[in-house]
Amino acid sequence: MYVNITTVWLTEDENILWKIFDVSYFPLALLENIFVEIFSMKKSEITEVALEQFMQHGIRSMTIKKLVEPLGISTKTVYKYFTSKEELLEECLGVLYDGYFNELTALINQQENPVNTLLVLFRSAFGKDFGVSHTFFHDLNYYYPELQNAAQNRTKNNYGSLMIPLVEDGIAKGYVSQNIKPEIVLTGIGILYTSITRSDNYREHKGSPYELFKNLVEVYIRGLCTDKGIKEIENNPYHND
């Protein structure tokens, strides 16, 4: 189907963004694709910038206006795509955890030793939760846990498809005890990690995030290992940090 148009205006608020003119017969499907592409790009751009703002400044102190200040757009534009800050945060978390999954995939592909891979993975996670982006993850863990849980649950099967074979590989190579059940072990690590990041006991932790990692999660991983695996932990370059 074709449409006979002379001028097509795409407007944002009261500002003209783009003008197509002197078009006699334009394929309707192509015109729709152009509209979708432009507006989806705008939505993804808002999400990307908002995530950066959240990570830098935290969640609770941010308003919609502050989140999109770097883009120079009005809040009305944001509300075309998101009904609230929470809905925008939910979209941002989807992007964030998809990125983490890609990082995990790359890490597993690069590492040959499954024990070292577990150490690097969780050490990195502690660095995020208690490090540079501490305010963001603090707000997320204590004030928006439902949104975090939902984002994690959406990628749960994907993570399991990587983590379960990782532990099985550790068993096959003699780093992890033969009687270990990977599914139970990984659930246990998840519960431990959640209790650390959401517990009042560590809520205002001021020391190194790697101190928490070494005294909590590394101890758990050590308990899974054979003597061969323990040796790998002790030889890990981060072990004595």
Each residue's pLDDT tens digit, 94-150: 999 999 999 989 988 887 899 999 999 999 888 888 876 789 998 999 999 999 999
DSSP string computed for 152-211: HHHTHHHHHHHHHHHHHHHHHTTSB-TT--HHHHHHHHHHHHHHHHH-GGGTT--S-HHH
State residue 70's pLDDT score: 93
For residue 60, the enclosing domain spans: 2-78
Q: For position 33, what pLDDT does the model report?
A: 58
* 71 and 190 together in one domain: no
Q: Is residue 128 part of a domain?
A: yes
| 240 within a domain of the structure (yes/no) | no
Segment 163-210, tens digit of pLDDT: 999 999 999 999 999 999 999 999 999 999 989 988 888 887 778 888
Q: What is the pTM of this model?
A: 0.74
Per the structure, the count of domains in the chain is: 2
Both 115 and 185 in a single domain?
yes
The predicted pLDDT at position 44 comes to 92
Cα dihedral across residues 154, 156, 159, 165: positive or negative: negative
Domain endpoint, select from 35, 52, 78: 78
My answer on whether 180 and 97 are in the same domain is yes
Q: Summarize pLDDT for 8-34 with one digit per residue, the tens.
A: 444 444 343 444 444 445 566 655 555
163: tokens are 């983590």
Specify the pLDDT at position 132: 64
Q: Among 53-57, 194-198, 211-215, 232-236, which range has the highest average pLDDT? A: 53-57
53 and 94 in one domain? no
Looking at the structure, do residues 137 and 218 belong to the same domain, yes or no?
Answer: yes
| Angle (nearest 5°) at CA 133 between 128 and 139 | 105
Report yes or no on 30 lying in a domain.
yes
pLDDT at residue 199 in the model: 83
* Mean pLDDT value of segment 81-89: 96
Which of 26, 45, 78 finishes a domain? Answer: 78
- Pair (38, 96) in one structural domain: no
> Cα–Cα–Cα angle for 224, 226, 230, nearest 5°?
85
Of the candidates 178, 176, 189, which has an alpha carbon nearest to the alpha carbon of residue 229?
Answer: 176
Q: Residue 131 — φ and ψ, nearest 5°?
A: -105, -125
Does one domain contain both 68 and 48?
Answer: yes
**Domain-located, residue 220:** yes
Residue 83 domain flag = no
143 and 46 in a common domain: no
User: Are residue 64 and residue 170 in the same domain, yes or no?
Assistant: no
Annotate 37-54 with DSSP letters as a single string. Answer: HHHHHHHHHHHHHHHHHH
Last residue in a domain, options 51, 78, 105? 78
Q: Is there a single domain that holds both residue 67 and residue 138?
A: no
72: in domain: yes
> Is residue 241 situated within a structural domain?
no
